[in-house]
């Protein structure tokens, strides 16, 4: 009987083994042909508060080109006129990440916020401009006693202080008018103020609007602004891989900006609702370099001294800002970009 042959080890047993192998191979082939039932994990939902300015170029490009999505992030953008308000969205738990310059971040830390910087994503020596009306101001010394609009606690506010100090004018020598950045173009056009300290994204279109009645004061050597990406400390501890995904997307965006600047400029112009000519003009002043550099720590400390001295905060002592720099994320994504001494 066949059954006896199977156990006897004779040739029919060999044929039976071949038959079984053939069946197993066929089953494996059929299984491979079936559609996989395994599903990729759903994308992580995050909200990124960003400014509608050239400073948030990398975040705008990453969203437009689908880099966040490629990294497994379902990113919703919360748009603000400038970074100080974007950081406030994080503090108010409306957003997970914020693009923000170092000055508002510094003030938030002085006021007790538990937030950290993941990376500097952009820097510029001419992102802040003092724009004045030529019918009331012809030389820098004419600023004394004049109305200058500023948004307290922003890089433009710190730049104004630095520019005035470098030219021997104290803050008490001018009439500072607290004003939201987005209201400044109309205010100077109407003559409500004599000058405005603002970002290039606002200053360049406003200067063109004023025509011959606009005069720009700037010094490339007194201040470099750093635009960063920041997040709550608790989030970074609990979801470090999400931070790495975000940073990888921004690194890709930086590569795109360097390789295809004209396309990137068009993305920013459309995103911000600004004529692409103004974006091109400001582009030359921008450095799209994702990093964590020692100079960031030095700037935070210098600006903290300024904030305490000018009573912009109740804090009396400068904190250790290294405790508010998140090194692990960028170290994992681009270790050569981390240049901070521990």
- Residues in the chain predicted with pLDDT less than 50, given as ranges, are 1-18, 20-21, 23-27, 29-31
DSSP string, 215-260: EEE--TTS--EEEEEEEEHHHHHH-HHHHHHHHHHHHHHHHHHHH-
Measured between alpha carbons, how far is 117 from 52 in angstroms, rounded to an integer?
A: 20
Residue 341: predicted pLDDT: 85
Measured between alpha carbons, how far is 227 from 248 in angstroms, rounded to an integer?
A: 17
- How many angstroms separate the Cα of 334 from the Cα of each of 52, 71, 191, 329, 338? 27, 15, 48, 9, 8
Residue 201: predicted pLDDT: 86
CA dihedral 200, 206, 207, 208 (to 10 degrees): 120
The CATH fold of domain 44-124+226-339? D-Maltodextrin-Binding Protein; domain 2 (3.40.190)
Prediction pTM value: 0.85
Secondary structure (3-state) at 327: helix
Residue 342: predicted pLDDT: 75
Same fold for the pair 44-124+226-339 and 128-217: yes
| Tokens describing residue 315 | 């804090």
Length of the chain: 342
Measured between alpha carbons, how far is 232 from 95 in angstroms, rounded to an integer?
A: 10
Where does the chain have alpha helices with state H? 2-8, 11-33, 57-64, 67-70, 83-91, 102-110, 155-166, 184-190, 200-210, 233-238, 240-259, 261-272, 276-283, 294-309, 327-333
Measured between alpha carbons, how far is 290 from 337 in angstroms, rounded to an integer?
A: 7
Domain boundaries, the chain: 2-33, 44-124+226-339, 128-217
| Tokens describing residue 149 | 């609009």
The CATH number of 128-217 is: 3.40.190.10
| Tokens describing residue 99 | 């693009």
Inter-axis angle of helices 155-166 and 294-309, to 10 degrees?
80
Helix H or strand E segment including 214: strand 214-217
Measured between alpha carbons, how far is 277 from 105 in angstroms, rounded to an integer?
A: 30
Residue 41: predicted pLDDT: 79
């Amino acid at each position: 009987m066949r059954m006896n042959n199977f156990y006897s080890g004779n040739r029919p047993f060999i044929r039976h083994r071949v038959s079984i192998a053939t069946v197993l191979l066929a089953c494996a082939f059929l299984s491979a042909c079936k559609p996989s039932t395994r599903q990729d994990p759903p994308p992580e939902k995050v909200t990124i508060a960003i400014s509608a300015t050239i400073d948030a170029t990398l975040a705008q490009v990453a969203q437009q080109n689908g880099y966040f999505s490629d990294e497994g992030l379902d990113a919703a953008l919360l748009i603000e006129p400038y970074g100080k308000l974007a950081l406030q969205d994080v503090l108010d738990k409306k957003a997970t990440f914020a693009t923000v310059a170092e000055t508002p971040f510094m003030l938030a830390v002085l006021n007790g916020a538990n937030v950290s910087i993941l990376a500097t994503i952009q820097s510029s020596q001419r992102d802040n401009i003092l724009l004045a009306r030529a019918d009331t101001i012809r030389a820098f010394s004419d600023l004394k006693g004049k109305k200058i609009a500023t948004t307290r606690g922003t890089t433009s506010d710190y730049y104004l202080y630095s520019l005035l100090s470098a030219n021997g004018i104290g803050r008490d020598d001018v009439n500072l008018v607290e004003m939201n950045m987005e209201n400044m173009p109309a205010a100077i056009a109407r003559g409500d103020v004599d000058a405005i300290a603002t970002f290039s994204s606002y200053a360049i279109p406003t200067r063109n609007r004023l025509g011959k009645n606009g005069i720009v004061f700037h010094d490339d050597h007194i201040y470099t602004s750093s635009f960063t990406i920041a997040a709550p400390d608790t989030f970074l501890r609990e979801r470090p891989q999400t931070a790495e995904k975000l940073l990888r997307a921004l690194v890709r965006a930086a590569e795109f900006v360097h390789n295809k600047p004209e396309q990137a400029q068009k993305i920013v112009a459309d995103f911000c609702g600004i004529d692409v000519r103004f974006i091109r003009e400001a582009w030359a002043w921008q450095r799209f370099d994702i990093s964590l550099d020692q100079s960031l720590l030095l700037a935070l400390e210098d600006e903290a001294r300024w904030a305490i001295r000018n009573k912009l905060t109740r804090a009396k002592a400068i904190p250790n800002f290294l405790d508010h720099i998140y090194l692990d994320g960028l170290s994992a994504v681009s270790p050569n970009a981390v240049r901070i001494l521990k």
